[in-house]
Amino acid sequence: MSPLIIALDFAQPERALALAKQLGRKRCRVKIGKELFTRSGTALVEKLVKQGFDVFLDLKYHDIPNTVARACLAAADLGVWMINVHALGGRNMLLAAREVLEKRRERPLLVAVTVLTSFNSLDLYAVGLHGQLEENVLRLVRLSYNCGLDGVVCSPHEIVRIRQTVGPDFKIVTPGIRPVGSLQDDQKRVMTPVEALKLGADYLVIGRPITAVSEPLQALLEIEASIEEVAT
C-alpha cells in the first residue's frame, strides 16, 4: 500500500468525495481534518470508509483523559484507519486513549502530534516551551512511545533522531511534505517525499501540492514515480 496520505482539506464534502474518487483507494489513503469534519460530520467519514478508503481522522484530540478516551472510541466506531491526539495532553491522557482502544478487536492506529510543522523555535518559546525545537519533539516522542502509542506525527526534519530514539517499528507520519518546485505555504519545516522516505518516514501527508492544482491525479502520479524506488 502506498505511503501517501492525501489531505482532503476542502470546505465542501462533495469536492472531497470527488477528489477521493478520482485518485482511487488503491493509490493513496485520505485524511479528514477539522474544517471538513466540522462541516460534514461523520457521514462523510462513513461514506469514505464504506467505499474502501483508509481514513486518517485528523482531529488532534487534546482534553482531559476521559473526554479524549471517549472521543477516540467514537472515532474507532466509525471504522477509521488512524486517529491522532496531542502529545502535550500528557501521560494520563495518552494512556487513557491507548487503553480504550486496546479493548477493541479491531482498532485504528493511534498516533500523537508532537510539534506542529508550522512552528519554529520562536513559536515554541512564545508558548512557554524552552530549549531546542528538536529536543521538545523528542521528549514528546519518548512520552508517546512509553505510553504505548503506535507512532507520532512530526516534521520530516526530526525523523532521523526519532528513529535513533525509538527504533524501526514506531510509526512516523510526516506532514510538511512538498514535492520539488512546490510552495511551502504556511509550513516552516518541509521536505520532499523522496527525502522523507529515505530518512525513514512511514507515511507522508500531502495536501495542497495535489488538492490545489488543476490536475491532481497527474500530480499524484508524478509523486508516485519519484518515490517508486524508495517505497518498494
By C-alpha distance, which of 219, 207, 210, 155 is closest to 36? Answer: 207
- Comparing C-alpha atoms, which of 67, 8, 70 is closest to residue 40? 8
Judge whether 208 is annotated as a binding position: yes
User: Which is the catalytic residue, given 21, 26, 50, 60?
Assistant: 60
Grid cell in block for residue 116: 506542529
User: Is 66 annotated for ligand binding?
Assistant: yes
Q: What is the C-alpha to C-alpha distance for residues 158 and 164, in angstroms, rounded to an integer?
A: 10
Whether 63 has a binding-site annotation, put simply, is yes
Instruction: Establish whether 124 is an annotated binding residue.
Output: no
Question: Letter for the amino acid at 147?
Answer: C
210 is in an annotated binding site: no
Handedness of CA 197, 199, 203, 204 (dihedral sign): negative
**Ramachandran angles phi, psi of 227, nearest 5°:** -105, 5
Q: Determine the angle formed by the axes of helices 42-50 and 13-23, rounding to 10 degrees.
A: 20
Q: Whole-angstrom Cα distance, residue 82 to residue 149?
A: 12
Residue 61 in marked binding region: yes
70: annotated binding-site residue? no
Residue 90 known to bind ligand: no
Answer yes or no: is 202 a known binding residue: no
Would you call 21 a catalytic residue per the annotation?
no
Q: Is 31 annotated as a binding residue?
A: yes
What residues are designated binding site?
Answer: 9, 31, 58-67, 117, 178, 187, 207-208
What residues are designated binding site for substrate?
Answer: 9, 31, 58-67, 117, 178, 187, 207-208
Instruction: State the catalytic residues.
Output: 60
